[in-house]
């Protein structure tokens, strides 16, 4: 049976991926920092969908945590067919107010972990002639917005570049770029979102459905919902100065989980 490995799998978009892929009949490898929540998720998904569920406790903002997941992805005896790099976090305060250690942890998680886990997964996928990688970015990738937006812009560029390099291999790579999504993301970052209009919010399960549809179509970037497609198209045409002002007025809120 095909197997999917999902990071940040116990909440938000990661949990939505776990539900969707279990429903589709894939066995799961769930990765998160909280062992208790992992065990609870594994129990629920296994009973509800009748799939095998493995758990890995790992903090992907550390070398040790990344190494644990790298080893699992490199296990030829238990191949992973779909990797979802979803783990991430936001920062409440602007650059130069946020401690440097927190900025570096974000770079470690959003960039180094994505790079290393994708690198660990791809050789086996290419050898088997099939496989999929979904790297969860954000619409923040398309506007100037500190380390968060910069790291997500890297995810998009990296995913598109790797996808091009894998042309004809049977392996697909997708960057998923949602906007505001109903999850625990902003609560964890302690960001007040009460001023964000209801029309801007997305449902995590819908985000995942859009991502899976775009992956099947062979796209390299998925922007869920027509409203965000339009916003990103406008952002790409707007002057840099206007985008910087918009990002500042939004209070560093263009986050996705």
pLDDT digits 0-9 by tens, 128-168? 999 999 999 999 999 877 999 999 999 999 999 999 999 99
- The reply to whether 148 belongs to the active site is yes
Which has the closest alpha carbon to 209: 172, 170, 178, 253? 178
Residues 65/59, Cβ–Cβ less than 8 Å:
yes
Higher pLDDT, 171 or 185: 171
Residues 72/48, Cβ–Cβ less than 8 Å:
no
Least confident of 96-110, 143-157, 169-183, 238-252: 238-252
Partners of 202 in beta bridges: 181
Higher pLDDT, 68 or 254: 68
What is the average per-residue pLDDT within 176-187?
Answer: 69
Which residue in the list 49, 132, 148, 228 is annotated as catalytic? 148
Tokens of 199: 């029309």
Q: Tell me what pLDDT residue 239 has.
A: 54
Tokens of 52: 């095998």
Task: Please tell me the CATH code under which domain 3-249 is placed.
Answer: 3.40.50.720
Structural domain spans, the chain:
3-249
């Amino acid at each position: 049976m095909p197997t999917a490995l999902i990071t940040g799998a116990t909440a938000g978009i990661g949990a939505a991926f776990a539900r969707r892929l279990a429903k589709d009949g894939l066995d799961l490898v769930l990765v998160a920092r909280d062992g208790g929540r992992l065990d609870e998720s594994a129990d629920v998904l296994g009973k509800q969908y009748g799939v095998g569920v493995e758990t890995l406790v790992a903090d992907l903002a550390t070398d040790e945590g990344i190494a644990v997941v790298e080893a699992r992805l490199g296990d030829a005896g238990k191949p992973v067919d779909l990797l979802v790099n979803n783990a991430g976090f936001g920062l409440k305060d602007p650059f130069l107010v946020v401690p440097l250690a927190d900025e570096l942890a974000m770079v470690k998680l959003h960039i180094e972990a994505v790079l290393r886990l994708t690198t660990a997964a791809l050789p086996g996928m290419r050898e088997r002639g099939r496989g999929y990688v979904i790297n969860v970015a954000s619409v923040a990738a398309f506007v100037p917005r500190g380390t968060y937006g910069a790291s997500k812009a890297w995810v998009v560029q990296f995913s598109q570049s790797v996808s091009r390099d894998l042309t004809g291999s049977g392996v697909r790579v997708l960057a998923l770029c949602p906007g505001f999504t109903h999850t625990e993301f902003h609560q964890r970052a302690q960001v007040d979102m009460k001023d964000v209009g209801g029309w801007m919010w997305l449902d995590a399960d819908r985000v995942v459905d859009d991502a899976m549809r775009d992956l099947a179509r062979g796209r390299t970037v998925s922007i869920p919902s027509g409203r965000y497609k339009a916003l990103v198209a406008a952002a790409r045409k707007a002057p840099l100065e206007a985008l910087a002002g918009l990002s500042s007025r939004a209070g560093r809120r263009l986050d996705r989980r």
